[in-house]
């Protein structure tokens, strides 16, 4: 068992393949786009809002349609059921995301320039954790909005979970929630980095076995 552990640790300490460094560096492009493009959009339609109201979630801000008018309309509707308004306090929950994405950009460039396979693995793990945490935080915030309704609201509504992905009917509103360009860019980065790591682990297995057991060793 120790032989296999030593073999794996020795392989992880090797530099990344030279031909993998350019694709790794290029993955910075969608990662940078993810900082500035909308990550998610929540929209709703109703008989009185046939053209719909929508809210775009960026990595650092919330933007309503019609130059912000849609946020005011949504807050007016939320007031009737006692839901917290969407304001600067809600947007403040996003403050950490641009810094995390910026740190990932620097980590990616460092890995592409002089990283080992272990550095690449660390980047994939950190990126996966960040993505899972950010999405989990998003789901949690939606849950809080739907379950902390004011008891003295003009319209009494039982606590509910707003739609996270897809479509949901709430009262006479049809609500929709879908990822946008920024989320797809982030997915490209995560999947690309994971694919490069998988390439190293799969193709490197034979080389490591031959190094320890000879060129005729079974794989």
Tens of pLDDT, residues 169-207: 877 788 899 999 999 999 999 999 999 999 998 887 666
Q: Is residue 9 part of a domain?
A: no
- Fill in the DSSP letter of residue 60: S
Whether residue 179 contacts residue 39, with contact meaning beta carbons closer than 8 Å, is answered with yes
Q: Is residue 15 part of a domain?
A: no
Q: Is residue 120 part of a domain?
A: yes
Q: Is residue 95 part of a domain?
A: yes
C-alpha 92: how far from its chain's center?
17
* pTM, entire model: 0.83
What's the domain range around 32? Answer: 26-213
Q: Name the range with the highest mean pLDDT among 6-10, 18-22, 42-46.
A: 18-22
Q: Is residue 72 part of a domain?
A: yes
Q: Is residue 172 part of a domain?
A: yes
Checking DSSP bridges between strand 166-170 and strand 62-64, what pairing results, if any? unpaired
- Fill in the DSSP letter of residue 41: E
The number of domains in the chain is: 1
Q: Name the range with the highest mean pLDDT among 73-77, 120-124, 172-176, 198-202.
A: 120-124
Q: Is residue 79 part of a domain?
A: yes
* 3-class SS letters over 94-145: HCHHHHHHHHHHHHHHHHHHHCEHHHHHHHHHHHHHHHHHHHHHHHHHHHHH
CATH code of the domain covering residue 95 = 1.20.140
Q: Is residue 11 part of a domain?
A: no
Q: Kindly state the average pLDDT of the residues 4-27.
A: 86
């Amino acid at each position: 068992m120790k032989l296999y552990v030593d073999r794996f640790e020795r392989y992880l300490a090797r530099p990344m393949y030279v031909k993998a460094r350019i694709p790794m560096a290029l993955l910075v492009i969608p990662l940078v786009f993810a900082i500035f493009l909308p990550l998610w959009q929540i929209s709703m339609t109703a008989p009185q809002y046939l053209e719909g109201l929508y809210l775009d979630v960026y990595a650092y801000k919330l933007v309503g349609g019609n130059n912000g008018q849609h946020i005011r309309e949504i807050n007016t509707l939320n007031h009737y059921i006692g839901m917290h308004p969407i304001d600067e306090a809600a947007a403040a929950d996003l403050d950490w995301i641009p810094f995390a994405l910026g740190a990932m950009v620097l980590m990616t460039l460092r890995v592409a320039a002089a990283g080992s396979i272990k550095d690449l693995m660390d980047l994939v793990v950190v990126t996966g954790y960040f993505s899972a945490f950010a999405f989990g935080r998003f789901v949690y915030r939606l849950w809080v909005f739907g379950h902390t309704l004011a008891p003295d609201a003009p319209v009494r509504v039982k606590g509910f979970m707003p739609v996270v992905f897809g479509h949901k009917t709430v009262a006479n509103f049809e609500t929709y929630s879908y990822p946008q360009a920024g989320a797809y860019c982030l997915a490209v980065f995560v999947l690309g980095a994971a694919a490069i790591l998988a390439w190293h682990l799969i193709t490197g297995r034979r080389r490591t076995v031959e190094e320890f057991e000879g060129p005729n060793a079974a794989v």
